[in-house]
Structure 1
Amino acid sequence: MKHKIIIAITGASGSIYAKGILDKLAANPDQYNAVGIVMSKNAQDVWETEIGDKSYAQYPFTFYGKQDFYAPFASGSAQYNTMIVVPCSMGTMGRIAAGISDDLITRAADVILKERRKLILVARETPYNLIQIKNMETITLAGGIICPATPSFYSKPSTIAEVAATVVDRVLDLAGIKIDTYRWGK
């Protein structure tokens, strides 16, 4: 089955993770029917600071405004089956955990959870406070997946991009996208 994927990019640090996911999705168009992107203004500013350009606008995906409640994935009837919030700010996570659907990102997450589909939040904060941990618990109990942007090192990454790819590849694995990546024991 091909995926219909929502990518939400919030203003947390970690644009390298969002860029990596968009790059790998663009390189594997045979694995999805649609990719819709919602990107906050803060996310654009952080991308421009961390990546150094506005390349987010050059991807072959459909972009939706944060207040565009006419986007297809604002309703379960559009049958988007996966949502990745990358990086996921703690504010966005808190609104999702509380069921506050005040923009397209939180509405889409609410729809994904109510339809029992796959929600993956790439949390980007450290350390966590108790409120954040309880929000993670709430989302997990509701069926979401919390995937902190915690890189692994057993593949012996040697560049920042390779370190970030350990997180990107894990997220894409969770989403069911088949990619060529390091596998333990091979």
Structure 2
Amino acid sequence: MQLHVTPAPRRRMIVGISGATGIIYGLRILEVLRLLDIEAHLVMSKPGERTLAYETDLKMRDVRAMADFSYGDADIGAAIASGSFRTMGMIVAPCSVRSLSAIATGNTDGLLTRAADVCLKERRRVVLMFRETPLHAGHIGAMAQATANGAIVFPPVPAFYDRPASLDEMVNHTVGRVLDLYDLDAGLVRRWSGKPERTPPEAAGRSEILAKERV
């Protein structure tokens, strides 16, 4: 039997943006994936599109241009809806209560939640940047069920040990910690050394790196 070996494709990451506040996290992840030469596959829910209008001055065409491939949430026949389409996994940033609940129960209602469910069944990493507070028992139960299914629930809680000087630095640190879960290092995280340190002068320039890329 003759085998045909094809070259390995670029590493791929699915990015889902749902209808919760904090769309900056999804946008920043897309920016960083491009810098790391990771092929980004974007799916955005309709509520996510509304959040884009509320929280930014960007248009949908601008966000689609940040990804290598973009799909509508109703496109359940898209490549990312199949387990045979190999990826590193998926990040939902931000992740709404509705999306979390659908992923937790497997009751998928669109491409975003279907893609997450596919990654879980294929035992690929799924990180849910859940944006809700305070929490009631239903939220906590859904987080527990999603975790039992293999997802990682990652509320974007900021860290202050590195003394962030801006909102941009806080976002970068959180995004860097999420990407750590995929063994991707974009140099956004100042690693804890075991003792507090003064913020080095070069730390002030970290947020400028991505800012220059966006110009």
TM-score range for the pair, normalised by the shorter chain length? over 0.9
Question: 1:35 Cα shift?
Answer: 1.6
Deviation (angstroms), 1:72:
1.1
Question: Percent identical across equivalent pairs?
Answer: 38
- 1:107 is displaced (CA, Å) by 0.8
Aligned match for 1:89, one of 96, 108, 117: 96
1:89-139, CA deviations, whole angstroms, 9 ceiling, x for partnerless residues?
011001111111221011111111111110100011111111111111111
Residues 129-164 of structure 1 show CA distances to partners (whole Å, capped at 9, x for unaligned) of 111111111111111100001111111111111111
Say whether 1:22 aligns with 2:30. Answer: yes
Pick one of 20, 40, 50 that aligns with 1:12.
20
- Offset at residue 38 of structure 1 (A): 0.2
- Relative contact order higher in (CA < 8 Å, ≥ 6 apart): 1
Give the counterpart of 1:43 among 41, 48, 60: 48
The correspondence of residues 73-88 of structure 1 with structure 2, limited to 5 A, is 73-88=80-95
Q: Distance in 1 between matches of 2:182 and 2:142?
A: 21
Give the 3-state SS of the residue equivalent to 2:84 in structure 1: helix
Distance in 1 (CA, whole Å) between partners of 2:129 and 2:47 is: 17
| Structure with greater Cα Rg | 2
Which residue pairs with 2:136 in the alignment?
129
Runs of 4+, deviation exceeding 6 Å: none
State how far apart, in whole Å, the 2-side matches of 1:60 and 1:90 are: 24
Aligned to 2:77: 70
Equivalence for 1:171: 178
Q: Report the CA distance between 1:167 and its aligned residue.
A: 1.2
Within 5 Å, which residues of 2 pair with 1:147-186? 147-181=154-188, 182-185=190-193
Q: Which sections of structure 2, spanning at least 5 residues, go unmatched?
A: 1-7, 195-215
Does structure 1 conserve the Cα–Cα contact (< 8 Å) formed by 2:30 and 2:40?
no
Structure 1 counterpart SS, 2:181: helix
State the shift of 1:86 in Å.
0.4
In 2: Cα distance, 1:110 partner to 1:77 partner? 13
Structure 2 SS opposite 1:77: coil
What 5-or-longer segments of structure 1 have no aligned partner?
none
Say whether the 8 Å CA contact 1:8–1:38 is kept in structure 2.
yes
CA contact (8 A) 2:30 2:67 kept: no
**Does the Cα contact within 8 Å between 1:136 and 1:146 map onto a contact in 2?**
yes
Query: How far apart, CA to CA, are the structure 2 residues paired with 1:130 and 1:17?
Result: 26
SS in 2 for 1:76: coil
In structure 2, the residue matched to 1:59 is 66
Q: 1:146 maps to which residue?
A: 153
The answer to whether the 8 Å contact 1:3/1:82 transfers is no
Letter in 2 for 1:53: L
CA distance in 1, matches of 2:58, 2:85: 32
